Each structure stands twice: as C-alpha cells, then as structure tokens.
Chains A and B, each alone.
Chain A
Amino acid sequence: MGRTLAEKVWDDHVVRRAEGEPDLLFIDLHLLHEVTSPQAFDGLRQAGRRVRRLDLTIATEDHNTPTLDIDKPIADPVSRAQLETLRKNCAEFGVRLHPLGDVEQGVVHVVGPQLGLTQPGTTVVCGDSHTSTHGAFGALAFGIGTSQVEHVLATQTLPMARPKTMAITIDGELPDGVTAKDLILAIIARIGTGGGQGYILEYRGSAIEKLSMEARMTICNMSIEAGARAGMIAPDETTFDYLKGRDHAPQGEDWDAAVAYWKTLRTDDDAVFDAEVVIEAAELAPFVTWGTNPGQGAPLSANVPDPASYEDASERNAAEKALEYMGLTAGQPLREIDVDTVFVGSCTNGRIEDLRNAAAILDGRKVADGVRMLVVPGSVRVALQAVEEGLDKVFTAAGAEWRHAGCSMCLGMNPDQLAPGERSASTSNRNFEGRQGKGGRTHLVSPQVAAATAVLGHLASPADLSDARTPAGV
C-alpha cells in the first residue's frame, strides 16, 4: 500500500523502532529562541551534557524584543535578562545566534525559511507551537516543550508516537479577495480547535497548489489552532523556486540530488488517510473571528452567532463566555464591530507578501481617526525588502506605525499590547482572552481585512472601500 507524504518523511527519520516504544526520530533542524530554551540549557549544564549537533541548531531573539528604540538597552529588566540568558547560553554552548540588531534576526518561523534552512523532507522542531509553519515546504515540523528542547539539544532526536494523517483537500479557485488566512480560519471553524488533535494534516488540492510559499506558510502556521500535531503541503516547483539560491539551500550536485529526493515527497495515489475533509474554494469568503478561540469565526458578512443556537452544551457555554469577554451581542453584524487597534505582523502574516497586500490597500488612504495601526515585519530581512519597495512610506503616509521586527503584539511579551477593553483586528493567530494584553479583545483577520478595517474603523474587507483614494502626496 502507498504512503502519505507525512509517512514518507517520518519513515526517513526513524533512528530506532521497537515494539511497544515510540519511534526515535532524527531531527534535521532545531530552532531556538529566548523563551523556551533557558531551562533546557540549565538541564544540559546540570547533567554535564553538550549540544550534540551545533550544525543543526540555530537561535534568534523574537518574543521579547522591543519594536522601538532597539539601539537602546531594553527597558523591561526581565525581558532584558531573558535575552541576555540566551546570549550567554549560546556563547557557552557554541550555538549560532542572531540577536536583536543582527540582519538575520526576526521571528524564528520567518527566519528559518528565508535562510533556506527549512527544506522539503526535513524534520524541524522548535519550542514554539507555530513550528507547524515549516510544513509548507513538505517538512515535518513540530512545536515542542522545553523538556523536548533539552532532549533534542542533547541527542538530536525525539521519541514520538506516530500521529494519524488527515487530508484537507481544497479544490477550485479562491474567489477574489479571499486569502490563505481566510481559508485556514474557515478550516479551523469547520473542524474545531480539537479537530486535528492526534493528526498530521496534509493540505492538498488545486487551490493549495496555486498558492505561493508565503501563503502556504500562513496555512500550515495555524494547523496548531486546529489542534493538529503538524500541517504539511507537498513540495513542488513553487517550493523549489523559493529555495533555489538561498543561503543554506543545497548547491550544485547536492541541489540536483535534493530535488530528485524532494520530488518523491508526494502522497501516493493508493495511500489511505485516517480522515479526510473536503472544502470547496469557491464557497469561501473573507473570514474573521468573533470569539476567544480561533475556531470561533465566521464570514465577515455574517452576524455574531447566538449561543442558544449551539446544540452542544460545552460549545454553548464557550460561546456565552466568549461574547461576554468580547463585549459583543448575539445578532450584531460583524461589519459593525469597531476596533481601536490594527496589528499587521506575526509568524502567520508578517512576511513580505503580507506587507505588500496590506500596503496595496492603504496606498493613498488614511487610517481612521482613533485607530492605532502597527505594522511589524516578521524579520529584519522582510523589513529591508519592504523599505526597498517603499512599503514603509505607504504605511507611515497612511498614519500607521512602522516598527522593527519581532513577535510584538501577537502575544504582547514586549511593550506592544492592548489596554484592557481595547479591541484589535489582528493578522496574528490567537484570539485567546488576554493574549494581546490583559483584558484586550482580538479579532483574527487577513492582512487585507486588517488594512480595510484600519481605514474604516470597523471590521471590513477591501470590497467595502468604495471611496476614491487620495492621490499620493496630497
């Protein structure tokens, strides 16, 4: 019987398989950042262990880093201490580090792919749940906890039980104005925050094949929000084109050997998935969340749902609590929800195409009075590219704030936070209570919806912007 993409990559990394034990998997790439690594390095020190494969390990700083005044000492002493701990640990153990101020610094899941380190058929881990992002390349990429970070540092392997596989097939054409973000939010709303639990998802079908690498990363990134262990997309010419020439992409004969291998990384026609979900691309529309988990979303044209409409008691209860926290009323049109903050950035939507998409809508328009808009590039490289294209000027001319790279308001570990009661339209990945700041309220949206929302001051899609643009320079 044939094998799925996930099974092929898994099988190629089994170091040891024994009855009654989890498989021992080899890890090709280990990404580190300041938040989930200090206790792991402490563990190594206590046991007198070293990092087994420094050549498969790389660190950057992202969660705590400020997005303003990065040339000055970090104001928050606790954040500063955590970054200093990472620097000390990397120096002591010999790990390659891209700290704040370095040209390769940025959100860890933006940095790996842009360096060409994330490649098809590799296993990638990081102490961060959004490691699923790297699955866009046909890599098997898992978010792990700190104990596992220590395990990989010490052994370059992880014992893991093989997850089941789920095919999510999206055929057809995405309608105009519908993006990868809308697609993944619709998928999560359909299968639920626990729907992918125990599974590796494979996104496939003609709508997926047409997507750029960056759009594929947006989709795989949010696999974890459906509870999945990982999300993958089979590599193809789009993948190879993206990788070719990048710093760490194979070269010469290695490139040819790699591509030959990568081309085998497709689910066989006779392979069987443990579960299948089919979605028609043509039926999708711009999608936003109204609740406090990423599964609580709806098309922008819909109304806030009535909790009483849920048959399941637990879902009803969750919807009631969500509406109370979000300060929303059942039946209220989603388009009438006013926001005071718009955030464009994160490992979900902080890459160059995301910034281009938001800038294209803001060009010649103004952010509405009373709305604060933050644009935070996913990495220094993304920022430099945006500046080269003049996108930073488009954002600042519209009245948005152009910031330095980092995780920023996605999780508010740095000073970029919502105040209690503030409401954001955010291109990030989690609308949990307090995620963007204590008492803050988050609506997850695409970069296009974020930009249109910034202009109108309420949740909106670009199609709602019927007004003529102010000619540039006026």
Chain B
Amino acid sequence: MEAFTAHTGRAVPLRRSNVDTDQIIPAHWLKKVTRDGFEDGLFEAWRKDENFVLNRPERKGATVLVAGPDFGTGSSREHAVWALQNYGFKTVISSRFADIFRGNSLKNGLLTVVLDQKVVDALWELTEADPTAEITVDLESRQVRAEGITADFELDENARWRLLNGLDDISLTLQNEADIATYEVARPTFKPRTINA
C-alpha cells in the first residue's frame, strides 16, 4: 500500500447523499479481474450527463472528492475504491461513510476523512465558488485546511500509523503467527469444516 502523509489538491464537490457503491462503479465493471482500469467506470451513469460535476473542464485533475453523507453504502465491492483511485482521487471527505467502504479505502491508501456536515457545506461553497481552490488533507496533524477553513478530523491511531507508513496488513498479522497457531489448537472439534477429514 502507498503511504499517505498529506495531500493538497483541487476538489470535486458532489452534492449527493447515499452515494452507493453501485453508483461509484456499476456491477458490469466487476467482471474485470485486475485492480486497475476502472477509471472510466467511475460514476458511469451520472457521467452520461454532460453537466455532471465530474465532466466540467474546471474539475479536470481534481484529487479531493467532497461528498454528501452516507458515502459508499451498499455492496462491499473494493472496486469502488480502485475506481476512485484509478481516476486520480487521493482522498474523500464526507460527514458519514459506510463501514465496509471505509475499511476498504483505508486498506488501499485512499484516505476517507469524516468532517461535520457544516464543514462539508463550507467546502462545497468554497470549491463551487472557486474551482481552483485547493484543499489540504494532512494526516500527520489530522487536519483539513482550505481558504478560511480549518477542521480537525479523527482517525484511530492504528489506522493512521498503517497509512502513514504504507504498511501491509497481512505482513503485520503474520508477525502474530504463534498466537494464530495457539488459537487453532484450542478450537473445539465441533466447529464446521468444508472438507471432511
């Protein structure tokens, strides 16, 4: 996983709530067996409308998505995270994320930042009025900064440490191999097995 320390970039204000992962990447894209090449599927249905915010020329190259509440609901498809990253987004800001989406994003180095809806409103107003306005998301100081806006955000220390260092979860877990082996030995015999011994 790529490390995330801080990022500054222009924003895409997405004034929608309940943006489910079917909207982020429709199901027919899920037939691909790679982690890349999903950028053209990102918000595919909405992008058919030329006025959709992502289609506007002034949003080209933007890297910070500022979305309404309950972003990433629905399907557990990690392809939603890959699509956002493949398109070029480094971070997503919302007042509330769906749990599975948030877990997936943090495992891929896409920083999901939870801010109060009032701050999200202020970021929308700022970046709609001035598309060149930049937003800084600083994971080291756990702070979001933009013109006239400074807001602290929370992220648990363990997740932050893994992101800052770009650490691979599996390697970390395998350091506890002895604990796993001990647990396995003590498991009751009545637990189900998919392969009958």
Write the residues of chain A forming the contact surface with B, with a CB cutoff of 8 angstroms. Answer: 15-16, 20-22, 24, 26, 28-29, 35-36, 38-39, 42, 47, 49, 54-58, 63-64, 76, 78-79, 81-82, 85, 96, 116-119, 122, 127-129, 143-148, 150-151, 154-157, 159, 161, 163, 193-194, 197-198, 224-225, 227, 229, 248-250, 254-255, 257-258, 261, 292-293, 314-315, 317-318, 321, 411-413, 430, 432-435, 438
B122 adjacent to chain A (CB < 8 Å)? no
State whether A58 and B194 are in contact (beta carbons under 8 Å apart), knowing that A159-B169, A227-B73, A432-B23 are contacts in the complex: yes
- Which of A57, A194, A225 counts the most B-chain CB atoms under 10 A from its CB? A194
A21 to B160, CA, bound (A): 11
Contact of A29 among B68, B183, B194 (CB under 8 A): B194
A129-B76, A227-B70 known, 7 other contacts, Cβ within 8 Å: A39-B33, A82-B33, A144-B103, A194-B69, A194-B70, A314-B69, A434-B45
B96 adjacent to A314 (CB under 8 Å): no
Question: With A16-B179, A21-B158, A227-B73 in contact, is A145–B192 under 8 Å at CB?
Answer: no
Q: Which residues of B contact A20 (CB under 8 A)?
A: 157-158
**B77 interface residue, CB < 8 Å from A?**
yes
B180 with A156: CB separation less than 8 A: yes
Q: List 25 A-B contacts (CB under 8 A).
A: A15-B183, A24-B180, A35-B31, A35-B77, A38-B33, A39-B33, A39-B78, A96-B195, A117-B194, A127-B76, A145-B78, A151-B170, A155-B180, A194-B73, A224-B74, A224-B100, A248-B192, A249-B192, A258-B188, A293-B73, A314-B68, A315-B17, A411-B22, A413-B27, A432-B22
Within 8 A of A (CB), among B102-119: 103-104, 107-108, 117
B35's nearest neighbour on chain A, judged by CB, is A39
Q: Are A317 and B17 in contact (CB under 8 A)?
A: yes
The distance from the CB of B2 to the nearest CB of chain A, in whole angstroms, is 13
- Closest Cβ of chain A: how far from B168's Cβ, in Å? 9
Q: How far is the CA of A117 from the CA of B190 in the complex (A)?
A: 11
Looking at the assembled complex, report how far the CB atom of B158 sits from the nearest CB atom of chain A, in whole angstroms: 5
B194 nearest in chain A by CB position: A58
Q: Measured between C-beta atoms, what is the minimum distance from B178 to chain A in Å? A: 10
Q: How far is the CA of A249 from the CA of B196 in the complex (A)?
A: 11
CB-defined contacts of B196 to chain A, threshold 8 Å: 248
Q: Are B69 and A147 in contact (CB under 8 A)?
A: no
B47 at the interface (CB under 8 A from A): no
Q: Are B173 and A79 in contact, CB atoms less than 8 angstroms apart?
A: no
Give the shortest distance, in Å, between A368 (CB) and chain B (any CB): 29
Quick check: B23 and A433 within 8 Å, CB to CB? Answer: yes
- Candidates A15, A22, A154, A261; contact of B170 at CB < 8 Å: A154
Q: Does B60 contact A (CB under 8 A)?
A: no
Residue among B15, B107, B117 with most chain A CB within 10 A = B107
Q: Choose among A157, A198, A292, A430 the residue that contacts B180 (Cβ–Cβ < 8 A).
A: A157
Which chain A positions have C-beta within 8 A of B99?
163, 197-198, 227, 229
Contact between B31 and A147, CB atoms less than 8 A apart: no
Contact string, B1-34, partner A, CB cutoff 8 A, digits 1/0? 0000000000000011110101100111011111
Check B56 for interface membership: any CB of A closer than 8 A: no
User: Contact: B191 with A28, CB < 8 Å?
Assistant: yes
The residue from A145, A163, A198, A293 contacting B104, defined by CB atoms under 8 A apart? A145
Tell me if A413 and B30 are in contact (CB < 8 A): yes
Are B193 and A248 in touch, CB under 8 angstroms? yes
> Which of B16, B22, B33 is in CB contact (< 8 Å) with A435?
B22
Contact of B17 among A127, A144, A318, A433 (CB under 8 A): A318
Across the interface, do B108 and A147 meet the contact criterion of CB distance under 8 Å? yes
Q: Does B98 contact A (CB under 8 A)?
A: yes
Closest Cβ of chain A to B82, distance in Å, is: 8
State A469–B27 Cα separation when bound (angstroms).
40
Assess whether B81 is interfacial by the CB under 8 Å rule: yes
A326–chain B nearest beta-carbon distance, Å: 14
A254–B68 CA distance with the chains assembled, in angstroms: 51
Chain A residue at smallest Cβ distance from B95: A314
State whether A145 touches B76 (Cβ < 8 A): yes
B75 in contact (CB, < 8 A) = yes
Cross-chain contact A193 with B73 (CB below 8 angstroms): yes
> Which B residues touch A229, using CB under 8 A?
99
Task: Tell whether A154 pairs with B174 under 8 Å between CB atoms, given A143-B100, A314-B69.
Answer: yes
What 3 A-B pairs have minimum CB-CB distances, sorted nearest first? A145-B104, A38-B33, A145-B78
Taking CB atoms, residues of chain B closer than 8 Å to A412 are 27-28
**Contact status A155-B68, CB under 8 Å:** no
Asked if A413 and B28 sit within 8 Å, CB to CB, the answer is yes
CB neighbours (8 Å) of A16 from chain B are 176, 179
| A71–B99 CA distance with the chains assembled, in angstroms | 39
Least distance between B97 CB and chain A CB atoms (Å): 8
Evaluate whether A78 and B31 lie within 8 angstroms (CB atoms) in the complex, with A24-B179, A128-B76, A129-B100 already known: yes
CA distance A150 to B174 in the complex (A): 13
Which chain B residues numbered 41 to 99 have a C-beta less than 8 Å away from chain A?
A: 45, 68-70, 73-79, 81, 96, 98-99
B141 within 8 A of A: no
User: Chain B 152-182, CB within 8 Å of chain A: the 1/0 string?
Assistant: 0000111000000000011011101001100
CA A22 to CA B26, docked complex, whole Å: 32
Complex Cα distance, B104 from A145, in Å, reads 6
Is B197 among interface residues, defined by CB-CB distance under 8 A?
yes
CB atoms of A257 and B193 under 8 A apart: no
Set A21, A148, A430: member contacting B22, Cβ < 8 A:
A430
Least CB distance from B166 to A in Å reads 13
Asked if residues A116 and B33 are in contact (CB atoms below 8 Å), the reply is no
User: A155 near B193 (CB under 8 angstroms)?
Assistant: no
* Contact of B107 with A148 in the complex, beta carbons under 8 Å: yes
Within 127-167 of B, Cβ neighbours of A (below 8 Å) are at 156-158
